[in-house]
A and B are shown apart, each in its own frame.
Chain A
Amino acid sequence: MKNTHLFLLSLVLAALGLGIFFYKAFVLNLALTPDHESQVWLVEAKLGFKADGRPVKAEMYIPQSSDSFLVMDENFVSRGYGLTTKRQDENRKAVWSIRSEEGWQTLYYRAVIRKNQTARNGKKVKKPAVFEFLLPEVEQEAVGGIIEKIKEMSADEESFIHNAFELLKLPRSDKNVLLLAGSRPTNERRVEVLLKILKKAGFAARSVQGIDLGDFVGHADIKHRIEVYSKEKKKWISYNIDTGSSRVPSGFLPWWFGEQGLTEVKGGENVIVNIGIERSQENLVKSALKNNQEASSLFLDFSLLHLPLDIQAVYRVLLLIPLGALLVVILRNVVGVKTFGTFMPVLIALAFRETELLWGIFLFTLLLSGGLMVRFYLEHLKLLLVPRLAAIVTVVVIMMVFFSIMTQKLGLDRGLSVALFPMIVLAMTIERMSIVWDELGPGDAMKQGIGTMLVASAIFLLIFHELFEHLLFVFPELLFVILAFTLLLGRYTGYRVVELYRFREFVNK
């Protein structure tokens, strides 16, 4: 009867936890593993110009989410200006306007950009329409000549594009190219010529301008690339205009398409645009959450990720404690390892996070044995309990201070981390250990001491792991599953592993 109740409760809890977990993981597409590749940038475009008292209308292209990047958290700073964003062909544009303004104006566009990790690679794009267009007769002929020449050298689309880029590298080698581009063409000019050739040859081609998030040092340059639609792959392929290589730098963020400039300001002069990039310190998981833009789910609105960052840091650790406690339960009730107190090992494992494992064990053992020695000396003095404990705490602090100063003098800066051991944990462990020593003898005290260390190390190694930290932080509903397991273990009435050894005589007979 009781057990049915418990099983049902555990089942409901586990189903609830796993249900939310699977929903978030596979419907909302939250990342299951911490991703070190995941990067977030803060991009800021600063548009400055001098207004001359007439109505001002400033237009600027703004980036949009693509297969490789997501644009999130956009905001515009523009005091007094009316602001609209609009789509124009393939681009997005911000339009600021004001009745009249004078003096130096600064308008800001800020956005958080992050890598798009959920993008399905190889998303097919429909072939864009290719429009016939007219060129001045001279150019028409020159372009026709170039196309003929390239066609002769090329076998397929790919080699045609490749050869077109090659030809533009050395404009002097061909009189038609020289005519179109001049002897020393600028980037813009080269793009213009290339697009003319490609379009006339029947390709769908466009120019794309953007920035490289890879060089995230302050000021970013606008980089120009050409995109050609590949019928074979059914998507746009981007080419470097200098090399003709179709390898896109991983940090290239397309900002707008077309050959026109980034901004257009009416009613102002001396226009300056500055694009700054900053690697964002923003929590990586937060970006995982935003990855799926449409998912404005209740689960995401009520999530730990909206807490301030320092509180998030606390929860990252706090959420691991139930899992550590579950491991203690397993090791104590199923295996039968003896430890000081129930959750002392979890606390010690927390301390190990600061000191690292081996060093932590060494320091802990050192302080523990020192504390015990003092305790047995004080035993001699027949002190009453509370003053004795207070004396032990004092001596442990003195030992810690001494140890830190000594190691510092010796040039071992690791010794300083001794101060990271929570005093309380140490004093409590010493007290527990001496009680066990008194009541059950030194053998048991040692056994429990070693057991505590083992369990603490196990928790440190198995539980305080990046993966679990990520999982529990992004999917705190997993706590329900942990709770379900803990409840079930609460009714585990089987033998402990150590009992199999303890009662071995029964088996041998």
Chain B
Amino acid sequence: MMMGTVRKLREKGILGINARNAAYILPYNNRRFYPLVDDKLKTKELALQAGVAVPELYATVEIQRQVRDLKDTLEPYSEFVIKPAKGSGGEGIILIASKRNGRFRKTNGLLLEIDDLKHHISMIIGGVFSLGGHPDKAIIEYKISHDPVFEDVTYMGVPDIRIITFLGVPVMSMIRLPSRMSDGKANLHQGAVGAGICIATGTTCSAVWHENFITEHPDTGAELLGLEIPYWNELLKIAASSYDMTGLGYQGVDLVLDKSRGPLLLELNARPGLSIQIANNAGLSGRLKLVEQQEGVRKWSVEEKISFAREQFR
């Protein structure tokens, strides 16, 4: 029974964690480059250097001294996000939707005083939300409003698009749609819906929720398949250029589509998960091997990588 399962998974080309680590992350992702993606501030700088659009950085708070001037820092902005530079799992993020009489209204309607924000930023700097409790920086940046195309398939929150790139070639992608269960977070593990996006066409081709295949959004009931992602080629371009940005051969590129600014790079991930295979109902192994076999693939231009990917990965 177990051997049969192994054989079937192998036939499908499903990539396991051990194989991912041994065959792709260890040889292609130099640990030296990890800090580039672990710190969102560094990722942002790299992206700007490479001409990739990111949510606009308003300010950073690095030392406690700067917290005192927070009111002046926030003066020009009425909509913004406060997040830790090295946070993970969406912890420590505050979304402010509007400002009124010196008070700040969160997207869920709660009102916060300036002192609440100051305390939150102090906690971020103290390392409460960073991995291992290391001192951190607080980022204040542009708040994304998701593209209306996703209105029907999202329950609160902002859907994000994950593209796995290997040596700069986009090999698989999905869109993560927040659900009531995931509490507005775009994390499959916490109950968000994952929908595989066909690289060739940029339309969703299958969807999973809790590792089961579905066709309709569990909260809104909207059709999940055949959804066309706008700016698909732009998104692929950002993903493909990420390899030249960080030098990480195997990475997960997280993107969002903003209502007014279009595709923005959110963050990069040096150890992207494997659930994307379930969302796509397809295995990664074959695709990765195909890319590995291409001669000189590292030196291909971004356009070459994209056309290769759109031709091969349907």
Contacts and interface: CB of A to CB of B under 8 A. Distances in A.
Among B2, B9, B22, B132, residue most surrounded by chain A Cβ atoms (within 10 Å): B9
B6 A505 contact: no
A382 B123 contact: yes
A138 interface: no
B91 A494 contact: no
A493 B127 contact: no
B230 interface: no
Given A500-B2, A507-B5, A493 B190 contact: no
Chain A: interface secondary structure? helix
Nearest to B21: A493
B66 to A, nearest CB: 17
Interface in B201-227: 208, 211-213
A500 B5 contact: yes
Contacts of A82: none
Given A385-B126, A495-B18, A506 B211 contact: no
Contacts of B189: 440, 444
A500 B6 contact: yes
A504 B4 CA distance: 12
Interface in A237-288: none
Interface in A310-342: 333, 336
Contacts of A384: 123, 126-128
A496 B128 contact: no
Nearest to B1: A500
A439 B128 contact: no
Contacts of A505: 208, 211-213, 278, 281
Contacts of B8: 506-507
Contacts of B133: 385-386, 389
Contacts of B5: 500, 504, 507
Given A382-B119, A386-B133, A493 B16 contact: yes
A503 interface: yes
Given A439-B91, A493-B23, A500-B9, A333 B213 contact: no
Contacts of A440: 89, 189
Interface in B98-156: 119, 123, 126-129, 131-133
B29 interface: no
A466 B6 CA distance: 36
A502 interface: yes
A465 to B, nearest CB: 27
Contacts of A402: none
Contact of A493 (B18, B128, B212): B18
Contact of A385 (B17, B127, B281): B127
Among B88, B128, B129, B208, residue most surrounded by chain A Cβ atoms (within 10 Å): B128
Contacts of B131: 435
Interface in A155-213: none
Contacts of B278: 502-503, 505-506
B277 interface: yes
A149 interface: no
Nearest to A506: B12
B119 A507 contact: no
B59 interface: no
B270 interface: no
Nearest to A386: B133
A492 interface: yes
B19 interface: yes
A502 B211 contact: yes
A439 B88 contact: yes
B190 A441 contact: yes
A491 interface: yes
A492 B212 CA distance: 28
Contacts of A503: 9, 14, 277-278
Interface string A388-401: 01000000000000
Given A439-B89, A506-B281, A491 B6 contact: no
B208 A493 contact: no
A496 B4 CA distance: 14
Interface string B32-70: 000000000000000000000000000000000000000
Interface string A356-372: 00000000000000000
A375 to B, nearest CB: 13
Contacts of A389: 133
A493 B277 CA distance: 17
A386 B9 CA distance: 45
Contacts of B17: 336, 496, 499
Interface string A476-509: 0000000000000001111111011011111101
A494 B23 CA distance: 11
Contact of B9 (A382, A435, A439, A495): A495
Contacts of B6: 494-495, 500
A384 B131 CA distance: 14
Contacts of B132: 435
A162 B123 CA distance: 95
A492 B127 contact: no
A438 interface: yes
A507 B131 CA distance: 36
Contacts of B126: 384-385
A506 B128 contact: no
Contacts of A441: 190
Nearest to B12: A506
Contacts of A385: 126-128, 133
Among A444, A502, A506, residue most surrounded by chain B Cβ atoms (within 10 Å): A506
Interface of A: 333, 336, 382, 384-386, 389, 435, 438-441, 444, 491-497, 499-500, 502-507, 509
Interface of B: 2, 4-6, 8-9, 12, 14, 16-19, 22-23, 88-89, 91, 119, 123, 126-129, 131-133, 189-190, 208, 211-213, 277-278, 281, 283
Kindly list the 4 A-B residue pairs having the minimum CB-CB distance in the complex, ordered from nearest.
A384-B126, A385-B133, A493-B19, A495-B16
Given A382-B123, A500-B2, A502-B211, 12 more contacts: A384-B127, A385-B133, A386-B133, A438-B129, A495-B14, A496-B16, A496-B17, A499-B17, A502-B278, A504-B5, A505-B278, A505-B281
17 contacts: A333-B18, A384-B123, A385-B126, A385-B128, A389-B133, A438-B91, A495-B9, A495-B14, A495-B18, A496-B16, A502-B278, A503-B277, A505-B212, A506-B9, A506-B12, A506-B278, A509-B281
